[in-house]
Chains A and B, each alone.
Chain A
Amino acid sequence: MSDQNPATPASRESHAEGHVAVAPDTSDHAMLSMDVGQVGETLLEIDHVTLRFGGVVALNDVDFSIKRGEILGLIGPNGAGKTTCFNVMTGVYTPTSGEVRFNGRAISGNKPHKINQLGIARTFQNIRLFPEMSALENVMVGCDARHKTSVLGALFRAYRVRPTEEQLPANPLKRSLAKVFGISRHTLEERGGRERSMELLKFVGIADRAHELSRNLPYGYQRRLEIARALATEPQLLCLDEPAAGFNPAEKEDLMDLIRRIRDLGHTVLVIEHDMKLVLGVTDRIVVLEFGQKIAEGTPEEVARNPKVIAAYLGEPDDAA
């Protein structure tokens, strides 16, 4: 347990030693890119959302939207309601009043896996991988979210698909069988999922340890694996919850680069971060929360100049370390 928790001192230390310079990824990852849709169109709308727990007001009339193709930062001091806001967006909490709309559809009250199917994926502030599954299997679970094979389909494999030329197996006997009977959708999806997962691991730069149990991966690898697993579900909107927590400056540089590359694949990205430098460096637009209220919104330059934001962060030294 303790090794998953980024807050324990032990894991921070081990990760500090264990930082591996990730080789710059130059391949074009054509199979990963997806259609972003109409850039600039509203993707997610937080429409005057208020959330109360008993007498405590966690979010007070928060109102902003995320546009297709952008990287939006959501920042604020500790306890400002960032993660709560995030949980409302991903359907964990239902707002007391107001509405969250994704592609124009209200999503409150949907089950978590439905929200994922709609096209929202997230990572966790305190890493939550499937510790006893290998890195590759973790990502394959994500890929399965888009697969159509049912339980009975996986059992009987009766749903046959006529394979394309490159899907045909090399073995001549199997090849002629596949030509006559087709290949089960299960087999094709399994193979496709495996390839896509490997590609994703390469994309985030951790393919060298694809077959290791995720619990045994170094901290930085685990953070990247979470991103790969979320990307595997082909989200239109990827939400990163403090992705740089516990990273050193060099790793933060890598992460900023990764976030930009994710956007270039066609995903819209929402980043919740504590670290102002990272947020200012990578986002297109920023929303600032304080005490559950939105206090500012705008480009990084505007936000950095906003006196309210400066005041909110003044009491608290920039937590860049």
Chain B
Amino acid sequence: MSIITQYTNRLRDRLDVLPTWVRALGLLLVVALAFYLPYLNVLPFAYIRTDLSATGTDWASVLFLVVVYMIVAVGLNVVIGLAGLLDLGYVGFYALGAYSVALFGSTSSPVVEAIQNKFGLSEEWAVPFAICVPIAIAMALIAGVILGAPTLRLRGDYLAIVTMGFGEIIRICARNLDNVTNGAAGITNVPVPPGPEVDGRPFFNVSEPERWYWLALVVLIILIWMARRLEHSRVGRAWLAIREDEDAAAIMGVAAFKYKLWAFAIGASLGGMAGLLFGSKQQYVEPNGFMLNLSFLFVAMVVIGGSGNILGVLIGAFLLTYLPERFREFQEWRPFAFGVALVAVMILRPQGLVPSRRRAREFEDRKVEAEEAAADV
């Protein structure tokens, strides 16, 4: 066992024996710190800020993006980490979430304009944000079910290519359906969540990104809580059983297809939720924001962090979003460095940076087995 694993395991064991109230307090402190982050200005900690140099990006906006990608990672973790299904088209659901809120909520979207003309509504009218949210989640969820229903019966590797195709189809449709999505020009005026007006401006506006960050953080915390509930129930057990041995699980009464479809649908709706937040904050969506590479980035977050473990995937999402923003000066070199990092991290630590303890043990066992097998030959 590597030294890092030993150390983290010991740390986790220590945390486990602490009384519940101490752990609750600790968690509360972490959450409080997370809410405070946009204002972090105390040296030396302020060095983590991304806006120290002139070329830097706005710190709160980066934090917002980190949290949005964390939502993505939590959702994808259900699909990849728990149910063991390889989804390479996750960006499709993310795009669907963002596009749904734009298509129905923006006054300049062709869909809204069509509705205005049909019912003789005013130019100002659009579907209210509060209704766009369930629409966006439902669109992603329905897409997940439509994609999953025929393909989840296929073996894992086929699923990878079919989902990848789905991600591309969504983007191509967004680009080509000019009279629905405005094509490559994209849609502006994406609505923002309602709130009291402050100084004559909406509560959620472009110049106060920390509010967006707090909103996303609240959503993330709720979603993590829900994901954990599922994980520690018969649903989570069914997913693990399917991941381990699908046939045996089915013979033991697990409705494998149903649970896989649920994993897919839940993952999809979380992706849609993340896309919705993203589109709403940008107040603009365009097809090029949803390239296939983003899907690979999402999968990398889950795997690098340690798939199956929520803390792990959160860390993965943080590193892969934050580091490129922090080192923006080296923009041209970022994809290269990212590639090198992917290979290096996975070879040195294939179980991910913070694997679930179950996974960590699994890897130790597999390694021993592989070594024994090598010794036999």
A149 touching B369 in the complex, CB below 8 Å, given contacts A131-B244, A213-B361, A229-B252: no
Shortest CB distance A110–B (Å): 11
B44 close to chain A: CB less than 8 A:
no
Residues of A within 8 A of B237 (CB): 133, 137, 140-141, 144
Q: B248, A190: Cβ atoms under 8 Å?
A: no
Give the size of the chain B interface in residues (CB under 8 angstroms): 33
Q: Which of B230, B233, B244 contacts A190 (CB 8 A)?
A: B233
Q: How far is the CA of A230 from the CA of B241 in the complex (A)?
A: 14
Q: Is the interface of B mostly helix, strand, loop or mixed?
A: helix
Asked if B255 and A154 sit within 8 Å, CB to CB, the answer is no
B96 close to A (CB within 8 Å): no
Taking CB atoms, residues of chain A closer than 8 Å to B230 are 151, 154-155
Q: Are A116 and B369 in contact (CB under 8 A)?
A: no
Rounded to whole angstroms, the CA-CA distance of A165 and B288 in the bound complex is 61
Chain B, 225-264, CB within 8 A of any chain A CB: 226, 229-230, 233-235, 237-238, 240-241, 244-245, 247-256, 259, 262
Are A144 and B234 in contact, CB atoms less than 8 angstroms apart?
yes
Contact of A3 among B235, B238, B241, B369 (CB under 8 A): B369
Residues of A within 8 A of B240 (CB): 130, 132-133, 137
Q: B373 near A: Cβ within 8 Å? A: yes
Quick check: A151 and B248 within 8 Å, CB to CB? no
Instruction: Point out the residue from B229, B234, B244, B252 that lies within 8 Å of A132, measured CB to CB.
Output: B244
List A1-38 residues whose CB lies under 8 Å from chain B.
1-3
On whether A145 and B365 interact (CB within 8 A), knowing A130-B245, A132-B358, the answer reads no
Whether B250 and A141, one on each chain, are in contact in the complex, defined by CB atoms closer than 8 angstroms, is: no
- Closest approach, in angstroms, between the C-beta of B222 and any C-beta of chain A? 12
The answer on a CB contact under 8 Å between B241 and A116 is no
CB distance from B164 to the nearest CB of A (A): 26
Question: Does residue B123 face the partner (Cβ distance < 8 Å to A)?
Answer: no
- Give min CB distance, B356 to chain A, whole Å: 10
Give CA–CA (A215, B259) in the complex, Å.
Answer: 24
Tell me the residues in window 96-145 of chain A with beta carbons closer than 8 Å to chain B beta carbons.
111-113, 115-117, 121-122, 124, 128-133, 137, 140-142, 144-145
Contact B234 A117, beta carbon cutoff 8 Å:
no
Q: Which residue of A lies closest to B250 (CB)?
A: A112
Verify A230–B234 contact, CB threshold 8 A.
Answer: no
Please determine whether A121 and B252 come into contact, CB atoms closer than 8 angstroms: yes
Q: Are B369 and A1 in touch, CB under 8 angstroms? A: yes
Chain A CB count within 10 A is highest, among B241, B253, B256, B361, for B253
CB distance from B62 to the nearest CB of A (A): 31
Cα of A155 to Cα of B230 in the assembled complex, Å: 6
How far in angstroms is the closest Cβ of chain B from A4? 10
* A113 lies within 8 A of B253 (CB): yes
In the complex, whether A50 has a CB less than 8 A from a CB of chain B is: no
Cross-chain contact of B252 among A142, A149, A189, A193 (Cβ < 8 A): A142
B362 beta carbon closer than 8 Å to chain A: yes
7 nearest A-B residue pairs (beta carbon): A145-B253, A116-B253, A154-B233, A130-B244, A112-B250, A128-B248, A144-B234
